Amino acid sequence: MTELSDLPIRDDLRGLQPYGAPQEHVRVQLNVNENTHPIPEAVATDIVKALAEAVLGVNRYPDREFTELRESLAGYLGHGLTAENVWAANGSNEVLQQVLQAFGGPGRSVLGFPPTYSMHSIIANGTGTRWVTAERDAGYELSLQTVVEAIRREQPDIVFLCSPNNPTGTPLALETIVAAYDATPGILLVDEAYAEFQEGDTALRLLEGRPRLLVSRTMSKAFAFAGARLGYLAADPAVTDALRLVRLPYHLSALTQAAAVAALAHAPEMLAMVEDIKQQRDRMIVALPALGYTPLPSAANFVLFGGVENPHAVFEELLENDIIIRDVGIPHHLRVTAGSDAETTIFLDALARLSAR
């Protein structure tokens, strides 16, 4: 049987591993930061109606500029943004890939601050962009001084900041983002995949007058739209022009566009579940210390907790109890998504039984 190493694959891809979050069909799935709450039935009905109308025209290519969707996204984001400021693709991962295709590539570098979203480095490798890293501060915080010093030292073409950060849940001060922008002559991208779960300001407020600042978002988390695959970013219109140079023709299907527009028309109903998710997140942060663990503060829809003597063993024992969480590779830590009230109860009760042994 032919193996990958037998093929004439690019040298810089040899030995790399693909994204590999475990996929297990278990009762309680709290491992990939999905929104475990179902879409409200009335909203689902409208989305199905929009899909039924769109499917009648799938013999034609979709709107290449996805104009209605961009208008809907701009209306949702506010901050004076228009459709010209907005770009979208099949999940925020494709948005990030297009950014690196346009502004990165061979001979260029992107700076990240691990532990952070694992796809940042994977997409960098896939586009031939050199991935360089700098250490975070204590408690996985990221200060203005740390970011600026790393940018000046590494001189990257692109900087990726994640706020709130995945997998730590750490938010990022706007002052740090401003300082990072001022320190780099290249692109600064702020990944705000979990923005709806945090309190306080968003980097969207900083876009005006900063043409090299990009803010990426997703409908996968707060909008419970992970299976629909819709990510987007807001930036200066010149950035969207650059992304047109690398996107594939008609990259967003008519069905994806129709579903997303219908969902955005019901933004208040879709986001009503966010407060419940935040309550479950905070509930776990309060409950975990009583079980002997040390949760980190989180501004996202998940909690990273330490004090785990053997993360792999705990992961496997929870899996035997029909519960899956995430071993993100940080020693003595595990990450758990904030689910529904029932899912959180099942998780905490199972963890309490394991801790009592």
Residues 116-139 have pLDDT tens digits of 999 999 999 999 999 999 999 999
The helix (H) or strand (E) run that includes residue 161 is: strand 158-162
Distance CA 263, CA 288 (A): 35
Cβ atoms 301, 226 nearer than 8 A: no
Same domain for 195 and 344: no
pLDDT band at 357 (very low <50, low <70, confident <90, very high): low
Domain finish residue from 242, 265, 288: 265
pLDDT at 19: 78
Report residue 346 as tokens: 């099942």
CATH at 256: 3.40.640.10
Q: Cis link prior to 156 (omega < 30° from 0)?
A: no
Please state, in angstroms and rounded to a whole number, the distance separating the CA atoms of residues 174 and 192.
12
pLDDT (tens digit per residue) in 164-213: 999 999 999 999 999 999 999 999 999 999 999 998 889 999 999 999 99
Domain boundary among 265, 284, 300: 265
pLDDT value for 299:
97
Together in a domain, 61 and 200: yes
Indicate whether 285 and 236 sit together in one domain. no
Task: Examine the domain organization and report whether 291 and 150 are in the same domain.
Answer: no
Q: Is the pLDDT reported for residue 340 higher than 80?
A: yes
Give the whole-number percent of the chain exceeding pLDDT 70. Answer: 99
Burial 189-199 (b: 16+ CB within 10 A, else e): bbbbbbbbbbe
Is 211:236 a contact under the CB 8 Å cutoff?
Answer: yes
Least confident of 18-32, 71-85, 277-291: 18-32
Residues 188 and 331 in one domain: no
* Residue 115: Cβ-neighbour burial (10 angstroms; 0-12, 13-18, 19+): buried
Q: Measure the CA–CA gap between 153 and 273, rounded to whole angstroms.
A: 43
| 3-class DSSP state of 306 | strand
Contacts of 68 (CB under 8 A, 6+ apart): 257, 261
Residues 6+ apart with CB under 8 A from 291: 348, 351, 352, 355
Are residues 178 and 320 located together in one domain of the fold?
Answer: no
Tokens for 236, please give them: 């200066």
pLDDT band at 6 (very low <50, low <70, confident <90, very high): confident
- Looking at 211, 230, 265, the residue that finishes a domain is 265
Q: Which residue has the tokens 């940042």?
A: 120
Which 3-state string (H, E, C) describes 119-147? Answer: HHHHHHHHCCCEEEECCCCHHHCCCHHHH
Q: What is the pTM of this model?
A: 0.95
How many structural domains does the chain have? 2
- Is 3 part of any domain? no
Flag whether 4 is in a domain. no
Report, as an integer, the average pLDDT of 6-34.
Answer: 86
Q: Which domain holds residue 249?
A: 41-265
Query: Residue 304 pLDDT > 80, yes or no?
Result: yes
Is pLDDT of 355 > 90? no
Residues 82 and 198 in one domain: yes
**249 and 281 share a domain?**
no
